């Protein structure tokens, strides 16, 4: 049996998000020995990992995940990961009619609860342009995906481990500087006549996709190199 702090460390999910999962019925209620003391067994680790997988890899909303877990049962669901995935997203399994696999839009409050992002992180993401509201003040599917991924990152790279909100903002600003550089090259090439509008469109559609696939491989290589060099000192 674990305390909340231990469960949070084991799963990489903050305590506020875990408590939210419990209140929403995605996780069973813990064993309480005191008003402010609760204990959690191994099921919670497996269930939380299942929730993370369904959110991260399939972008399923929490109410769909909750329904699948409740149908399987808290005790059996941890051992039915593949069966649950096949039921929800398998090629022969139709999506639930309601709700859709991912909502068309979510309010700020709904998105914060679904992702577990803190107010500080969420507002910083808005300020920097990570997350952009639509004309109704909500967030569309693309922004929901971004927020889900940010939430997954934040569950691992926590402030307690030394990763501040500024850490994530630095990544976004670096990407923004790269985009500005690319845009300047496009515009100069267009003015000089070395590239046509059609060629620029083609570059954006195909060549940039290759860069997007190449970047994470190089990023991983560079960070691993730095770690190895540091540990060998």
- Structural domains of the chain in order of their starting residue, each with its CATH number: 4-89 (1.10.1660.10), 105-160 (no CATH), 166-231 (no CATH)
Q: For the chain, give the mean pLDDT.
A: 83
Instruction: Indicate the helix (H) or strand (E) that contains 32.
Output: strand 31-34
Percent of residues, the chain, with pLDDT higher than 90? 24
**What DSSP state is assigned to residue 40?**
B
**What DSSP state is assigned to residue 195?**
S
Beta carbons of 103 and 140 less than 8 angstroms apart: no
- Tens of pLDDT, residue by residue over 134-155, are 999 999 988 998 888 888 778 7
- Tens of pLDDT, residue by residue over 26-61, are 999 998 888 788 999 999 999 999 998 888 777 777
Q: How many CA atoms lie within 13 A of 20 on its CB side?
A: 18
Check residue 210 and give left, alpha or beta (phi > 0: left; psi -120 to 50: alpha): alpha
pTM, to two decimals: 0.52
Predicted confidence (pLDDT) at residue 219 exceeds the cutoff of 90:
no
What per-residue confidence (pLDDT) applies to 209? 66
Q: Which two tokens stand for residue 172?
A: 């976004």
Q: Give CA–CA dist 124/165, Å, rounded.
A: 7
- Name 183's Cβ contacts closer than 8 Å, sequence gap at least 6: none
């Amino acid at each position: 049996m674990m305390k909340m702090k231990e469960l949070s460390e084991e799963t990489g999910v903050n305590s506020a998000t875990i408590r939210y999962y419990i209140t929403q019925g995605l996780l069973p209620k813990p064993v309480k020995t005191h008003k402010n003391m609760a204990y959690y067994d191994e099921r919670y680790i497996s269930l939380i990992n299942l929730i993370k997988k369904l959110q991260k890899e399939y972008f399923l909303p929490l109410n769909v995940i909750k329904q699948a877990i409740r149908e399987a049962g808290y005790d059996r669901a941890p051992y039915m990961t593949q069966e649950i995935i096949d039921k929800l997203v398998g090629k022969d399994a139709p999506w639930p009619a309601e709700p859709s696999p991912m909502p068309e839009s979510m309010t700020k409050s709904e998105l914060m609860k679904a992702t577990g992002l803190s107010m500080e992180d969420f507002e910083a993401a808005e300020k920097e342009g990570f997350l952009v509201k639509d004309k109704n003040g909500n967030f569309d599917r693309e922004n929901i995906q971004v927020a889900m991924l940010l939430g997954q990152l934040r569950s691992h790279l926590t402030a307690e481990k030394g990763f501040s909100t500024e850490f994530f903002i630095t990544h976004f600003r670096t990407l923004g500087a790269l985009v500005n550089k690319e845009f300047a090259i496009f515009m100069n090439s267009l003015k000089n006549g070395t590239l046509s509008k059609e060629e620029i469109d083609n570059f954006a559609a195909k060549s940039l996709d290759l860069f997007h696939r190449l970047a994470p491989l190089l990023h991983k290589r560079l960070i691993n190199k730095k770690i190895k060099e540091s540990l060998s000192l």
